[in-house]
Amino acid sequence: MGRDVPRGLAHYTRDMAGLWRADARTDRERPSAFVIWDGSAFAPRVVRHGQTVWSACRRVLGNGTDAEDAFQAAFIALARNAAHVRSASISGWLQKMSYTVAVNAHKTAHRRNTVERQLLDRANRSDEQFPDEELRAVVDDEVARLPERLRVPLTL
């Protein structure tokens, strides 16, 4: 029995692209519908500019999952800022936004990896501080005797 796997915006737009490619209207011809969040006006923009946004995100992040998250974030930013983006400059705005979102995601991932490495180094060093297995066993026994309300926070 197959389960449907939830798919992201990037997959959805790739699947739906055929529906809107035939729409010859430009971004300038749809500004009012887009500003009031008309899906029929927004979807063609995703299709029209999706490859550019995807490419920028993929170049910066490399990882397909991270790039898809950045892709979605760029279009969410467009939806949130629709009233402030001129229709004639959507392409340039999206290029800049997708690059900015991807760079920020890359920085965040780098910071997270650095912190994780530091925590792992600390954990490894703390293991070296208790080389005596007998001492470690005594400490473990004492911690196990603590009431749960004290033991859980201590072990966490």
Radius of gyration of the chain (CA): 25
pLDDT digits (tens, 9 = 90+) for 3-32: 444 456 556 555 555 444 555 666 555 544
User: What number of other Cβ atoms are within 10 A of residue 138's Cβ?
Assistant: 11
| Mean pLDDT score, 30-40 | 50
Q: What's the token pair of residue 151? A: 């033991």
Residue 102: which pLDDT band, with cuts at 50, 70 and 90?
A: very high
Quote the pLDDT of residue 106.
92
- In tens, the pLDDT along 113-138 reads 899 998 888 877 765 565 677 777 88
Domain 9-155 fold = Rna Polymerase Sigma Factor; Chain: A (1.10.1740)
Q: Which residues contact 72 (CB under 8 A, 6 or more apart)?
A: 8, 9, 10
Six-digit token pair at 64?
């397909």
pLDDT of 34: 47
Confidence grade of residue 150 (pLDDT, cut at 50, 70, 90): confident
CA end-to-end span of the chain:
39
pTM of the entire predicted model: 0.55
DSSP state letter for 5: P
76-85 own/partner pairs: CB under 8 Å, 24+ apart: 77/101, 78/45, 79/37, 79/42, 82/34, 82/35, 82/37, 83/35
pLDDT at residue 10, as a whole number: 58
Question: Residue 19's pLDDT is what?
Answer: 45
Count of CB atoms within 10 A of residue 140's CB? 11
